[in-house]
Amino acid sequence: MKKKNLLFDASVIAENLHSGRGRSGIYFTTYNILKNLIKSDAFDISLYCSTETDENFVNFVHDNFGEIPICLGNKYSKLLKKLSVLDGELRTKKHNILKLLLNVFLRKPVKFIGKVSKLPKFDIAFSTFRSFDKKIKAKHKYILLYDAIPLLFPEYYPEMNTGKYWYTHLINYIKSKNTECKYFSISESTKIDFIKLLDMSQGDIMVIPLAASDNFYPETDAKKIAKIRKKYNVPTNKKYVFSLCTLEPRKNLIRAVKTFIEFIKKNKIDDMVFVLGGAHWDEFIGKLESEIKDLGKYKDKIIRAGYIDDEDLSALYSGAEWFVYTSQYEGFGLPPLEAMKCGCPVITSNNSSLPEVVGDAAIMIDWDSDEQHISAYEKYYTDKKYRQKMADAGLKRSKEFSWKNTADIIIDGINKGF
């Protein structure tokens, strides 16, 4: 039987070729799903890229995914890239008339011609987050849904009103009721939200749990952990609590740190610090100072690790006494799963998708309860046996998730045309 051909939107990979801060959970999800779909050999896969590309992207694809066909959203992308460079040079030299002529008579026409140029028709089109360009033609289309956070908490997403935000386009696409498109969601919680908020049909959404990368593991080499601690200025003579997240209000980081300080105050603890990965420090510390009047006495208990390189995460998770991730809401919540895979006990919220991720292998609390935060800290700090029990339970739980399993569910769903 002839294999179906599948067009996979790899635009987010092209936009984040170089490792670093720009690589989000969507990037890693896209990378791992693509890698495992190719490994399965279930489809004849071609990649789609809507953005301007160059040889670096082609080389990256060949190095990571093999010799795979690439379809460009604009076949003149190389020319457009050169025109963008020229445009920038003219801007710096203030050649406004030349820049105008360049845009009107060359750049805009090339963009337009590229947009209307046709792509081959595919059996299946798959996007890991964006809605599809009109030029993508396929018998069946699938889009991955992460969360309904911008719909549930619009106050955090003013860009939703600009008309340029990718999520706004996705919501409008869903509302248009494209009959050839169905959806995968990363949790049962996300599925329920979309059905409730956008009146979607239950039969049009299939759940595919995500997974932590194979690069996460329990690091047992004390010298390596010490080396990584030194790299991120974590005192080697102190135990530490670890948290890894962005500084969005729903991440609840202010409460997590504030209650940690109350915990060490209450119990007269001097051998622990709180290590923050990924926070924007200046903004964060200002908010924290407004919450804690005597913060100055405890500033040395808060360690700013900043952005953490992927290869260092296992050591930091493994060296921590426990990991804190008490978000107000999550579509899935990969960091708690990563921590569990490294044998680190977890404290997380009891809301949204997080119970689906941790099961009974973490302390789950109300995200907005100071008392429950402090109680959870005390439980892990005072009970070493319980801490080890939860570390073991987390390791066991983490083995239930894998990118191969995620890809297998996608393949099965597509083949059955769910």
pLDDT tens digit sequence for 306-334: 888 889 999 999 999 999 999 999 999 99
- What is the reported pLDDT for 2? 80
Whether residue 344 contacts residue 320, with contact meaning beta carbons closer than 8 Å, is answered with: yes
The C-alpha angle with vertex 151 and arms to 149 and 152, in degrees rounded to 5, equals 65
Burial of 315 from C-beta contacts in 10 A (0-12 / 13-18 / 19+): buried
In this structure, what token pair is assigned to residue 155?
């106050």
d(CA 366, CA 351): 8
Whether residue 272 contacts residue 264, with contact meaning beta carbons closer than 8 Å, is answered with: yes
pTM score of the predicted model? 0.84
- What is the reported pLDDT for 20? 59
**Which of 100, 109, 144 has the alpha carbon at shortest distance from 125?**
144
Domains of the chain, each with CATH number or no CATH? 5-73+119-211+403-416 (3.40.50.2000), 222-398 (3.40.50.2000)
Whether residue 9 contacts residue 127, with contact meaning beta carbons closer than 8 Å, is answered with: yes
- What is the reported pLDDT for 116? 42
DSSP string, 172-184: HHHHTT-TTEEEE
**Single-letter code of the amino acid located at 95:** H
pLDDT tens digit sequence for 159-193: 888 778 889 999 999 999 888 899 999 999 999 99
Residues of the chain with pLDDT under 70: 1, 19-23, 52-54, 73-118, 279-285
- What is the reported pLDDT for 106? 54
In this structure, what token pair is assigned to residue 70?
């690439």
**Matching residue, tokens 């005390």:** 378
